[in-house]
Amino acid sequence: MDFELRILGSSSATPSANRHHTAQLLTIGNQYHLIDCGEGTQMQLMLYKIKHQRICNIYISHLHGDHYFGLASLLSTMHLHGRQTPLHLFGPAGLSEILSLQFRYSGTNLCFDLIFTELDTTAHTLIFEDKDITVHTLPMLHRVPCCGFLFREKPKPRPLVKEKLPDFLTPQQLVGLKAGKDIFDMHGNLLVANKEVTLEPKPQRSYAYCSDTRLNTAIVPWLQHVDLLYHEATFTDDLRERAHYTFHSTARQAAELALQAQVRHLLIGHFSVRYKDLSPLLQEAQETFPKTDLAIEGSIFCVREEDAPAEEQ
């Protein structure tokens, strides 16, 4: 199953000629998850030949324009193209009202169901779950209510070693073995030890998106051993005071958080337009956390099952 991230936009409050406002597309299996939707997002989707009708969920971290001003236009395009599939939208209080106002005055009555979930941006909460993944919010420290998102695969079944399976096992018992259970008789005696007839399951993959925020070490426990972490890095560390004043982070602070959380791979983005050359931001982060990359538009970052660490027993 695919688990890959495409960067659509990585600029901060002001876009530049070659950096758009924040937007990312996370593909998990055949599901498209759009994370933030800054101005120009649908143009980026077209540029990279991504079919917007395949987007199943949209997650808006907060109501600063560089993170959602592209949403109404994207929804309008979906409407004009006759979308029929329901769309799930997750965002902070006020977003539904803003969209209702825009559509009311433009005379737009969406032809598909838009299912809105209002987020508690102050808590670590399960907001979405299907057969493959869970999505939780991550509280951020910003000037307006803001949250990040943690995507994690569900535990996978343990493969059965068929030549070691006793003939007397029922289908229900086989399901139990795949779930990691031992098999006992009616008297509580062990019949089949799980680890003798199964293999270790494929590891669960994970992606964490930390939107606009001051350095917030309170979220470190939820980020432990995440495969891929995106964290905003608006400034270099010589502007740490400005970052604190504007409720943003520096590249070094993003790397410090990644180090504390023992993540496998760090992406930094949300770059201030003052930086025409992004290498100082990358170098600063890599001094603390070497496995760091820039969230360059068009880049794809894959998390492969063989790359993800197996869960510790």
Q: How far apart are CA 30 and CA 184, in angstroms?
A: 38
CA-CA distances (angstroms) from residue 261 to 44, 218, 236, 268, 275? 32, 11, 21, 15, 27
Q: Which residue has the tokens 């096992």?
A: 169
Q: Is 212 annotated as a binding residue?
A: yes
CB 214 within 8 A of CB 246: no
CA-CA distances (angstroms) from residue 260 to 107, 215, 253? 50, 12, 11
**Contact residues for 249 (Cβ-Cβ < 8 A; gap 6+):** 213, 214, 215, 231, 232, 233, 234, 235, 243
CB 24 within 8 A of CB 209: yes
Q: Is 113 annotated as a binding residue?
A: no
Other CB atoms within 10 A of residue 251 CB: 32
Q: Is 142 annotated as a binding residue?
A: yes
Token digits for 234? 């608006």
Residue of 142, 151, 156 lying closest to 92 (CA atoms): 142
Q: Is 52 annotated as a binding residue?
A: no
Catalytic residues: 66
How does 85-121 read in b/e, with b if 16+ C-beta sit within 10 Å? eebbbbbbeebeeebeeebeeeeeeeeeebeeeebeb
Q: Is 182 annotated as a binding residue?
A: no
Q: Is 81 annotated as a binding residue?
A: no
Q: Is 307 annotated as a binding residue?
A: no
Which parts are annotated binding residues?
Answer: 62, 64, 66-67, 142, 212, 270
Which parts are annotated binding residues for Zn(2+)?
Answer: 62, 64, 66-67, 142, 212, 270
